[in-house]
Amino acid sequence: MPAVLTIQSGINKVRYATLKGIMAAKKKEIATIPRESLGVAIGPTQRIERIYVPVKTKKTEFLTGTPKEAAAKLLEKLRHDARVL
């Protein structure tokens, strides 16, 4: 010890804060640990050059008709155009 455990989402139901807990939180002390006190020298190892909204590259082909026709068209496309079946 000590050991570090990380937990995945879904392991438990989220427990929401109660009103009493929210009120009590206001009085709790928040400890601040300055980086210098840790005795580690950290320089940046990477830099973000640009942040942007992803460009949509796909064009959706809509298949129409009765359910039977649409289903047949889809299988045709998957077999011969996309060739994934």
Binding site for other proteins (CB under 8 A): 8-10, 43-54, 56, 58, 60-64, 67-68, 70-72, 74-75, 77-78, 82, 84-85
Peptide bond preceding 44 in cis form (omega within 30 of 0): no
User: 13 or 27, CB closer to other proteins?
Assistant: 13
User: 21 or 65, CB closer to other proteins?
Assistant: 65
Torsion sign over Cα 46, 50, 53, 55: negative
Q: Which two tokens stand for residue 27?
A: 């009085």
Q: How far is the CB of 32 from other proteins (least distance, A)?
A: 23
Q: Which two tokens stand for residue 28?
A: 């709790």
